[in-house]
Amino acid sequence: MDAALDYFRSQAIKVTSENLVGTDVTEEFTDIQALLVTYEKTKTKFEAILDRATKIQDILTIQERLISIQSQIDSLKGQEKALKQNADLSKTTLFLSTDELALPYTPDKTFRPEVVFKKAARSLLNTLRLGGEALIWVGVYAVIWVPALGGFFLYRRWRKKKQAASP
């Protein structure tokens, strides 16, 4: 599957969007193989016990167990075969076009108004917080700039009076 996708990508001039959907069955496949090994070992042990059994009741009981184990082995082999076939028969759908606008539209991101609203509200709160912080800074530094501003206005007033008094 990866080889096929790599090939298709290499043949494209531009890939406008890509959507891969699949199920990884590696873990399930590994579990089935481990169970098969266990059942095969168990079957071998029961066959060895069957070879040594002398009582008919023991032979019948062991044969029942062997039939049950063989049934489970066959079932697991069927599952394993089905998983292999499903992996081999992957479905690939390509939309090819010489005109990008003719392709089906697949947005990169979905529109989620509630997320946009939350972002806008957070931005507003951050702006208000920054404004409040700025006012606090201005208030703290007022000890410096208020007397300086007051001195500047007093100096201008004094200068205007002095200019008005001397014609």
Q: Is 12 helix (H, G, I), strand (E, B) or coil?
A: coil
Q: Is 39 helix (H, G, I), strand (E, B) or coil?
A: helix
**Confidence at 4, pLDDT banded by 50, 70, 90:** confident
| High-pLDDT (> 90) share of the chain, % | 53
Helix (H) or strand (E) run with residue 115 in it: helix 113-140
Mean pLDDT over each residue of the chain, to the nearest integer: 86
Q: What is the mean pLDDT of residues 56-70?
A: 94
**Confidence at 96, pLDDT banded by 50, 70, 90:** low
Predicted pLDDT of residue 93 = 73
DSSP 101: G
**How many angstroms separate the CA atoms of 139 and 133, rounded?**
10
**How many angstroms separate the CA atoms of 139 and 146, rounded?**
10
Q: What is the mean pLDDT of residues 70-99?
A: 80
Q: What is the mean pLDDT of residues 82-110?
A: 70
112: CB partners within 8 A, 6+ apart: none
Considering the entire predicted model, what is its pTM?
A: 0.44
- Taking the chain, what is the end-to-end CA distance rounded to the nearest angstrom? 98
19-36 per-position pLDDT tens digit: 776 677 778 888 999 999
114-154 per-position pLDDT tens digit: 988 999 999 999 999 999 999 999 999 999 999 999 999 99
**How many angstroms separate the CA atoms of 85 and 126, rounded?**
56
Q: Answer yes or no: is pLDDT of 11 > 70.
A: yes
Q: 123 is written with which tokens?
A: 């931005």
Show contacts of 15-23: CB within 8 Å, 24+ apart.
16/100, 16/103, 17/103, 17/106, 17/108, 19/106, 22/90
